[in-house]
Amino acid sequence: KSAEYPVHVKTIGSLSRQQILKVMELAKNMKADPHAYTSALKNRTLLALFEKPSLRTRVSLETGMTQLGGHCIYYALADSPLGKKESILDTAKVVSRYVDVMTARLKTRQAIEELAENATIPVVNALDDYGHPCQMLADFLTIIEHYGSYEGMKLAFVGDCQNNMTYDLMRLGCIMGFHVTVAGPADKGFNVEWSVVKECEKLLEENKGGSFKISNSKDEAVAGANIVYCDSWMSYGIPQDERQERFKALMPYQVTGETMKLADKGAIFMNCLPAVRGEEQTAEVLDGPQSVIYDQAENRLHAQKALLTLLVNGFDYKL
């Protein structure tokens, strides 16, 4: 094992620019020639813990492990004594003795922290309240495929800015060197947490070339953007009784056909899904010619296969 083993991916900020580029390179190769990698994780096992629902993450992880010659155990926390008779500490230590890598979709960043702190195998956050690194890798692959490059790119995220996706998109731009503007009703509680602002400032200093801006104007954020991004207004776990108030605050930030006209002419529209037509964006946008949502979803498979291969075999793995 290399000196840096195990690498834990808690947010996209856990990976360096070089590591992300390596994942991209391997993901492209795996996508182009999946048959060349059918033994990359032969006899290896992934444990995929889930405390929240999932379509894409679960299906792409399970499929990916099969394609790499390994096996995935789907483990719903509802089936586990965790939180009742079992601690995160013991879960991390026990499963580290069985499997080679673990993904976890847990409700809080503290739970992911504790899992990573106590595991002796790589732990990947599969969505908590603070980030969604697997989605970032898939989205970045989609951007590179579409544009052939990413430097100088302008990405606008509009809607709920107190959000896992918002935070990781900001981090991704700062690490890779593109420009991210996020816009939402900060005055109504949808503001970016201060810790993320501080973290992004540090990432910018270390990596150079990118920038981030926080705005309350949808039009300002979207003007001239190459990528327009939005995410669900009802993230997993948000109680239904908050729905009405959230929608009142967020409706001015809906992405419509008119919004897309303010973006660059060749702009793409992204949403990590699940999405609701008529909520965070109109059907016209989600199903329109600028939308790349199904490429994003497909790329979850390729990007995660590459990430898991590098985490298990080491980042010096020969492509």
What is d(CA 133, CA 304) in angstroms, rounded to the nearest whole number? 10
Among 115, 137, 196, 272, binds ligand NVA (CB under 6 A): 272
165 closest CA partner among 131, 214, 203: 131
Closest approach of ligand CP to the CB of residue 127, in Å: 6
Among 91, 232, 281, 282, binds ligand NVA (CB under 6 A): 232
Q: Is 300 a catalytic residue?
A: yes
What are the φ/ψ torsions at residue 31 (nearest 5 degrees)?
-70, -40
- Strands 101-105 and 123-125, bridge-based pairing: parallel
What are the φ/ψ torsions at residue 229 (nearest 5 degrees)?
-125, 135
| Piece in contact with ligand NVA (CB under 6 A), picked from 66-74, 206-214, 231-239, 246-254 | 231-239
Scanning residues 111 to 140, which ones bind ligand CP (CB under 6 A)?
127, 135
| Piece in contact with ligand CP (CB under 6 A), picked from 24-32, 79-87, 114-122, 272-280 | 272-280
Closest approach of ligand NVA to the CB of residue 56, in Å: 8
Choice among 132, 179, 246, 302 that is catalytic: 132
157 closest CA partner among 136, 187, 134, 129: 136
Whole-number Cα distances in Å, 113 to 106, 130, 174, 193, 218: 10, 11, 22, 18, 34
| Piece in contact with ligand CP (CB under 6 A), picked from 18-26, 49-57, 142-150, 308-316 | 49-57
Instruction: Give the 3-state secondary structure percentages of the chain, helix then strand then coil, rounded to 5.
Output: 50, 15, 35
Q: Is 58 a catalytic residue?
A: no
Q: Is 272 a catalytic residue?
A: yes
Among 272, 285, 292, 308, binds ligand CP (CB under 6 A): 272
Choice among 129, 160, 168, 231 that is catalytic: 231
Contacts with ligand CP, residue ranges (CB under 6 A): 54-57, 127, 135, 272-274
